[in-house]
Homo-oligomer: A and B are copies of this chain.
Amino acid sequence: MDARFAATPAPPFFAVIFSSTRRDEDAEGYAEAAERMVELASQQPGFLGVESSRDAGGFGITVSYWESEAAIAAWKHQADHRATRERGRQDWYAQFEVRVCKVERAYGFVNKDLA
């Protein structure tokens, strides 16, 4: 298994789609915080996994997966996460969009020639 894919269960579950563009500042502070937030999220009750990609042009999409809306709300109110989000608005992001979703169907494919 490629660990960049989240091993999510059968639906229903929940997803937070976070699309963003970065400012050209504090790359190191941002990278450290991003890593710490993934570590912290993965310790939250109801966390199912995360997938993340940022392209060469600086456009990124991170999707975190959760068992319930209550788990998402608890993560939103986690103190360190709150403080880090505030820094994100002030220092790191040019723009972001957040969409909170209920995953209703899911399927996947692994190429057998490569597996």
For the complex, count residues of A whose C-beta is within 8 A of B.
43
- Number of this chain's copies in the complex: 2
- B54 contacts A53, C-beta separation under 8 Å: yes
Q: Interface code A51-77, partner B: CB below 8 Å = 1, 0 otherwise?
A: 111111101110100000000000000
Q: Which of B54, B56, B63 contacts A19 (CB 8 A)?
A: B63
- Main secondary structure, interface of A, reads strand
Q: Interface code A37-60, partner B: CB below 8 Å = 1, 0 otherwise?
A: 000000000000001111111011
Contacts of A98 in B (CB 8 A): 105-108
Q: Which of B19, B52, B103 contacts A99 (CB 8 A)?
A: B103
Expressed in whole angstroms, the Cα–Cα distance for A98 and B95 within the complex equals 26
Q: Apart from A15-B101, A95-B111, what are 17 other A-B pairs with CB-CB below 8 Å?
A: A2-B21, A2-B94, A4-B57, A6-B19, A8-B99, A11-B99, A52-B55, A63-B63, A93-B109, A93-B111, A95-B108, A98-B105, A98-B107, A98-B108, A99-B106, A100-B103, A100-B105
Please report A residues at the B interface, Cβ cutoff 8 Å: 2, 4-6, 8, 11, 15, 17, 19, 21, 23, 51-57, 59-61, 63, 89, 93-111, 114
